[in-house]
Structure formats: C-alpha cells, structure tokens
Amino acid sequence: MALIQTRSGTTKTTAVVVGVVLAALTLGSYLLGIDHLLGFSRLAMAVILVIAFVKVYLVTQYFMDIRHAPTWLKVIVHGWTVLTAGIVIGLYIGL
C-alpha cells in the first residue's frame, strides 16, 4: 500500500474550507426549504436540488479524492453526477 505524500497544511486548509462551504450550502438549502425565500416553492425546490448536486460534487472531489483519480474514473463519477442531476431536476420541473 503506497501513501500519497501531500503538503499537510494545504490539505487540512482545503478540507476545512470545503467543510465550511458544505455547511453553508446545507444552511442555505434549509432556509430555502422552510421559508421559501424565493417566494415560489417549486423554484425553491429546484434550487435545493441543484445545491444538493453541488454538494455531491464537492464531496466526491475533496473527500472521496476523485480529483486525484485516473481520468476514466473522473469521467464516470462526474458523468453519473451530471446525468443523475439532469434526470432528477428534469423530472421535478417537468411534473
């Protein structure tokens, strides 16, 4: 098993920044969900779904280390995320 050597300070800082961004996105989607800050609940739900898939992207990039993965794996993961987001949001908006 090989260990990847990185600059530990940069890695820790990135993890903290991404964690704070994820917390802020969670708080934002919560506020949209309970108060419908956009005024139209269907639009608010669509924005919440977009936020959810942005969070999926951030988690796969920074906590599942897809950014260091081979290109073929990045294509599969990002393709799945975009395809799933398109289907879920499309079905929600279309119905």
The tens digit of pLDDT for each residue in 6-63 reads: 555 566 788 889 999 999 999 988 888 876 666 667 778 888 999 999 999 999 998 8
Q: How far apart are CA 95 and CA 84, in angstroms?
A: 16
* pLDDT for the residue numbered 31: 85
Find, among 56, 50, 58, 36, the residue nearest to 93 by Cα.
Answer: 50
Confidence of residue 93 (pLDDT cuts 50, 70, 90): confident
Q: Tally the C-alpha atoms within 13 A of residue 61's C-alpha that lie toward its C-beta.
A: 13
* pLDDT for the residue numbered 81: 94
Q: How far apart are CA 75 and CA 5, in angstroms?
A: 24
Greatest Cα pair distance in the chain: 53
CA distances for 57 relative to 14, 36, 66, 85, angstroms: 15, 24, 10, 11
Contacting residues for 42 by C-beta, under 8 A, at least 6 apart: 93
* pLDDT for the residue numbered 92: 85
* pLDDT for the residue numbered 8: 56
* pLDDT for the residue numbered 35: 67
* pLDDT for the residue numbered 84: 95
